[in-house]
Structure 1
Amino acid sequence: FTPQQIHICYGKIPTDVIIMWATVAKGPKMSVQYSFNTKINDFNIVVADQEELKINNEKGVKFLYRAYLKGLKPATVYYYKIISKQNGVSSDLLQFNVPSTGFDHFQSYMVLADMGPYTHNLQNIVHEAKNNEYTSVFHIGDIAYDLHTGKGSTGDKFLNNIQLMTAKLPYLVSPGDHEAKYDFTHYRYRFSMPTLSWPMKTEELYYSFDIGPTHFISLNTEMLFHVFKKDDQLAWLEKDLIAVNKRSKRPWIIVMGHRALYSSCDNRKDCLLETPIIKTSLEELFFKYGVDIYFGGHYHNYERSWPVYKDKVVAQHYKNPKAPVYITIGTLGQEYLPEPIRRPGGQWSAKTENKECFGVLEIFNSTHLHWKVLAAANNAKIDQIWVIQT
């Protein structure tokens, strides 16, 4: 009954927090006990929902739990334990931060993709996240290589390996091609993302939420290859972008999706056949509604574009850009498939890198955004830009 694979995420709004975990055996009801001081008391208890993950999970931990904490105070540290009073089970005392909702409060986000239990520098990344004041972590698809591999045991191993990070920081995921098998079942059951029901529905694996001046959108780019399934997501995306009303509500619009729109990768069919489908589906909407940055993975390299629209460079700077910036941050997948960039794919390509790395998105206020890329081995700075809106 001991809780494992603990990870947290935002609920419908960032002042709601979802806590998830798994147990080997099915037992009596389990709960989360929480407080904003270290003296956990019985007045703050949420009973968890429970589901059983059966499909291709013969060797995996089957019993999954989800507790939804509502109405938390912004900019506050909370302490929590996962407990079962009936059998005396209790996790260690853990903690998380509820983000500030203010527009001028600094926020910092770790951004990565294509990461699994055999990523070379996995524990360096986990400890970097745990020991620093990140607001949350975005993992943009290809999670664990794969959640269902080894009949579920690989997903268990990975989620336990990153628990030091994910029990403290909201872990926001987007589905990639490696999550699609078995109708996304392991992804839909193992995670619960903002605004979505749980287990998540196959046809609704996309979501958005706001923190301070930033509107975040996560897409299921795998659905864009299905003619009869992509229309609902694209209609939702346009409606969501219209509702942002960028100038008066959210100055920054950040979109995440596993598949890249721009890539200099040239050594597999994805580059020639699949990337154009993603670009045709999304680029016009991003340009029309003022998306600032699109983050993707899939290709196991790093690449940053200039502001670009339909392969034409709009500017070779990032002050008041008139088109989106496209960033691929998939280098952590090199252990599984090396994909070095041999040459830039066009004038739109501003920076490439083949070392394992992760990104840090820093929102300073409504006018200044900083992006930096750090080597996974030693945190050495590889790339950085300022995006400025005046």
Structure 2
Amino acid sequence: MFYFSILCLLLGASSRQTHTQFFMSDTEESQNKTKLFTLTDSKGNTHSAYIEDLNKTPQKCIFYSLNNSEMSWTNTIPTTQEKAYSFHIKNPNLGPTKEFYSKSFFKELFPNFSDNQPPINNYFTQNYDKVSPIISVLATNSSLLSSSFNMPLREDQPGYYIWWLYPQQIKLAWTENSNEVRISWVTYVNFKPKFAYKQLFCDELTGFNDWQFPDVNTQDFDEGNINQRYQTVHTVHIKKLKEKCIYEYVVGSSCFWSEVYSFNGRTPFYNKSTTELEGNPADLIIIGDWGNGVLGSYTNYLLQNEMQSRHIDGIIHMGDLAYDLPTNDGRVGDDWFNMIQPIAARIPYMCIPGNHEAFNNMSHFTNRLRMPVTPENQGTNLFYSFNLGPAHFTLINTEAYFDESLYPGIETHDNWLIKDLEQANLNREKVPWIFVFNHRALYCSDEKKDCYHLTLIIRDHIEEILNKNSVDIMFQAHVHNYERCTPIYNNTKIVGDYDTFNYYYSPKAPIYVVNGNAGNFQAHNDPFKSNKDDWHMFGSEDYGYGRLKVYNKTHVYYEQFSSEKGTEIDYFWVIKNNS
């Protein structure tokens, strides 16, 4: 473990994206020197890195370069924020002690390295524009670090060499408890996990400003669909969060640390007075059927940009993740989780399963995602609900309707759904809006069986439940397009006297929205049928996602974005009188 820590120190100082060729060598020990790895430059010359005097503090690191000239440095890491990336290098070829920070480490040492050379193994590092004080704290807190330097290293590209050493697939999610979030990440070497967080700033003067180090739970999961391939999943809970505070955190192991992420302390509530809700809207991204590759990158790009310009409380993903999580022994899922990490590590990412998660009784969903766990969902996290702002959000899972072997079964799910919506409907005075999210569609307009007899199966199970409890909007995915409908009951449009194309006034039945086209390898495979039902209002085959904003007790706004065009393509208001 210590050897990899030194490797972190050697590689973690690079400041601009650089690539070099290197490979791990077999560990060799000779005359108190331990060989770490060997670098090969563009001319084929090899340079070996060693550590000397393992029991000495600070340890001495040595490069044997051309003509056996020695370059060495010690692990002197500055404690000030401004020089958090600095360390000292003693190199007889470069003259006196030279200090490096915000420079390319390898380029300084090996000018002959070529950026244009196609390396056998690529290695990327990237600097951060803002350096958090956490970096210097972690670098100097020996009680936390357990004999390692923990220089932060950011490796953005999945699938590259030593990526398996680095904490990856970082995800933030709300839990079954108020004022709590659950953060999970993955490693492929079971080093002792590390986690640190603190309150960054708050509109209250009270609270902690020191770094906190909660315990981390760890479990192994075999993600292989053909061969055994284990990942180690680490999970931590942050409790007693304050709604108007911003927190920052970092995850890692004894060797590698992630970059520092921040998040808002707002969480769902399960028991809150009406006065606390006033003036407190809910703002969420709604997305479905999102995979890797070029087609998924449209949405990834637009959503990351939106994060920078708008406040987002959370994201709801209505199933079909990665296409598919277990494919290629889990590597497709790995790449997808790493793609969304800049988003999911900062904004609570809430999911329900789709048909593409059915493999092995949805084991990839239940083990690789950490959704709310309740007695009602029997610890499976496959369906759940929460309140946020003036709205109740119910996330269901209807896959058992099509595969009765899936656990928990239909009866368990439907009994929970009836009870959940009945209680939400009785709580309208405090939480006036009810939204339901499901992967499969009850109403849609393409030519495939998904919009014909398969929709009838779901309607037969839950449409009466939705209508009886006055659900406001039913969000659906699965069909790879965007479609907005009128309020519908029993395949009949229920139009209000004052409704217009973009405004619904006190609707008498659920409004149905299909949002299943975030982008995946199946592409635009669901064109609309030519003879649409009269409840169809608007449709688009553009890749994209939606944004739901619950302003208050009477006004809800929804807009749909085209990821390809980078523009809004549809919107609607729901306005109702709660007097």
SS at structure 2 position matched to 1:386:
strand
**1:152 to partner: Cα distance:** 0.3
How many residues were matched structurally?
384
SS at structure 1 position matched to 2:452:
helix
Inter-partner Cα distance in structure 1 for 2:224 and 2:236: 25
1:186 aligns with 2:186: no
Give the counterpart letter for 2:572 in structure 1: I
Give the counterpart letter for 1:349 in structure 2: H
Say if 1:200 and 1:152 are closer, same or farther in 2 by CA, change over 3 A: farther
- Which entry has the higher C-alpha Rg, 1 or 2? 2
**1:200 to partner: Cα distance:** 7.9
* Correspondent of 1:141 among 319, 335, 344: 319
Gaps of at least 5 residues in structure 1 are: none
* Correspondent of 2:345 among 167, 170, 193: 167
Aligned to 1:125: 302
When normalised by structure 1's length, the TM-score is 0.92
Give the counterpart letter for 2:510 in structure 1: P
- Asked if the contact 1:205/1:219 (under 8 Å) is kept, the reply is yes
- Asked if the contact 1:61/1:156 (under 8 Å) is kept, the reply is no
Give the counterpart letter for 1:2 in structure 2: Y
1:325 aligns with 2:506: no
Give the counterpart letter for 1:160 in structure 2: N
**1:120 to partner: Cα distance:** 4.5
- Asked if the contact 1:13/1:210 (under 8 Å) is kept, the reply is no
SS at structure 2 position matched to 1:241:
helix
- Asked if the contact 1:296/1:328 (under 8 Å) is kept, the reply is yes
- Asked if the contact 1:15/1:74 (under 8 Å) is kept, the reply is yes
**1:266 to partner: Cα distance:** 1.4
**1:192 to partner: Cα distance:** 1.0
1:382 aligns with 2:559: no
For 1:225-278, what per-residue CA distance to the aligned partner results, in whole angstroms no more than 9, with x for missing partners? 3568211111101111111114223111111110010011113x3333311101
**1:311 to partner: Cα distance:** 1.0
1:2 aligns with 2:166: yes
Give the counterpart letter for 2:213 in structure 1: I
- Asked if the contact 1:246/1:290 (under 8 Å) is kept, the reply is no
Give the counterpart letter for 2:477 in structure 1: G
Give the counterpart letter for 2:451 in structure 1: C
Aligned to 2:258: 91
1:50 aligns with 2:218: yes
- Asked if the contact 1:126/1:164 (under 8 Å) is kept, the reply is no
* Correspondent of 1:157 among 335, 354, 365: 335
Inter-partner Cα distance in structure 1 for 2:363 and 2:560: 32
1:35-114 counterparts in 2 under 5 A? 35-37=199-201, 41-42=210-211, 44-56=212-224, 58=227, 62-84=231-253, 87-99=254-266, 102-114=277-289
1:18 aligns with 2:196: no
Give the counterpart letter for 1:110 in structure 2: I
Aligned to 2:544: 357
Is 269-278 or 292-301 further displaced after alignment?
Answer: 269-278
Aligned-residue RMSD, C-alpha: 2.3
Aligned to 2:39: none
What percentage of aligned pairs have identical amino acids? 30
Is 118-127 or 315-324 further displaced after alignment?
Answer: 118-127
Inter-partner Cα distance in structure 2 for 1:195 and 1:188: 10
Give the counterpart letter for 2:506 in structure 1: N
Inter-partner Cα distance in structure 1 for 2:386 and 2:278: 14
Give the counterpart letter for 2:335 in structure 1: K
Is 69-78 or 158-167 further displaced after alignment?
Answer: 69-78
Give the counterpart letter for 1:16 in structure 2: E
Inter-partner Cα distance in structure 2 for 1:146 and 1:125: 22
Inter-partner Cα distance in structure 2 for 1:147 and 1:125: 23
**1:59 to partner: Cα distance:** 7.6
**1:196 to partner: Cα distance:** 4.2
Give the counterpart letter for 1:144 in structure 2: A
Give the counterpart letter for 1:260 in structure 2: A
Inter-partner Cα distance in structure 2 for 1:103 and 1:209: 18
Inter-partner Cα distance in structure 2 for 1:52 and 1:299: 34
Aligned to 1:212: 389
* Correspondent of 1:240 among 420, 423, 427: 420
Inter-partner Cα distance in structure 1 for 2:539 and 2:477: 13
Give the counterpart letter for 2:170 in structure 1: I
SS at structure 2 position matched to 1:128:
helix
Inter-partner Cα distance in structure 2 for 1:31 and 1:334: 33
Inter-partner Cα distance in structure 1 for 2:178 and 2:530: 41
Give the counterpart letter for 2:286 in structure 1: V
Give the counterpart letter for 2:234 in structure 1: Y
Inter-partner Cα distance in structure 2 for 1:158 and 1:171: 13
